Amino acid sequence: MDPIIRVPEGLEGVVVADTGISEIDGANGRLSYRGVPIEDIAGRFQRWEDLMPWLVYGEAFTIQVPPPRVTFALDGQPMVRLIHCVLGAHDLWPFEDRETEAAWLSAIPSSLVGQRTGAHASAAQAYLTGLRQGRQPSPVEEQTLNTYWIIAAEHGLNASTYAVRVAASTGTSLPLALAAGLATLAGPLHGGAPEGVLTLLQEASGVENLDRWLTEKVQRGERLMGFGHRVYRTLDPRAAALRAMFRQLADESDAVRHAVAVEEAAVRVLARTKPHRPLATNVEFYAAAVLRGLAIPAPWCPATFALARLAGYTAHYYEQRAHGRLIRPLAVYRRQ
């Protein structure tokens, strides 16, 4: 019998797969999709649904978002409804071709909010229109959500992506594997990350001296959510890619202008109070500020993030099916 190899709790630092989908270089603050830097990705693709087939299949083709197959009312827990929305296609899978499958994926945002799409509407436009009960977003708002979804589409073997690969290794269907990833993302330590930033921004509303207020929080040992990252030791490259659209949105949103002021003050305070620890703005800060600026209700923020990640999940599903074995680690019994 092979000797048992112990690994760190949470598999931290353990390589469990080879991938050609994305590469994360935390030390140097770099992220690439299929070898292309995220900064270039954000400029190359204008819509999330245009990125998706390239990221998933390595092929670029245009998708016209079809009408939703199943729609849901806006009441109820959004992540649970998103899981049901995905599971609704289990009996339809496998689809007849990649174009049909990509079209189904692109229709999930509009299905979730019960919004029928126009002839040339993007998934982002349909999603925001449905959330606002018929009020269409401005071009800047639409492009901001598209940029957010593009830079959030894939990020290596995070917990939910690994859950998708575990499910895929059993040979289950794509919709069931996506549901496994979404259920994992629903946990507050994963998909709930922007909530801490939203709380910080809400608490900062009406504060006259942000520098003093933030300094007092740091001195009390409180963490400023949205700054620093478990992987990146420099500015999160996704944050850099999202910042440009974030600043454009400030022209239309008081909430975003407020978030800019909070960010600038926090960077100053952290540089002064923790000079030996790199705590740059991370993507969660910009994501939360963008979601707040787009007036997306707080309960819908995790689901909005999850929609972006469907592209990366699907890419990992097929990569695992093509090259991976059944994932079956060991556990060592410990007498209680």
Looking at the annotation, which residues are catalytic? 229, 284
Give the distance, in angstroms, between the CA of residue 50 and the centroid of all CA atoms in the same chain: 17
Measured CA to CA, the distance from residue 110 to residue 317 in angstroms comes to 23
Residues 6+ apart with CB under 8 A from 254: none
Residues 6+ apart with CB under 8 A from 2: none
Residues 6+ apart with CB under 8 A from 11: none
Structure tokens at 292: 């707040």
Structure tokens at 137: 């977003």
Structure tokens at 14: 């353990």
Q: Is 173 helix (H, G, I), strand (E, B) or coil?
A: coil
Residues 6+ apart with CB under 8 A from 139: none
Measured CA to CA, the distance from residue 210 to residue 225 in angstroms comes to 15
Measured CA to CA, the distance from residue 18 to residue 197 in angstroms comes to 33
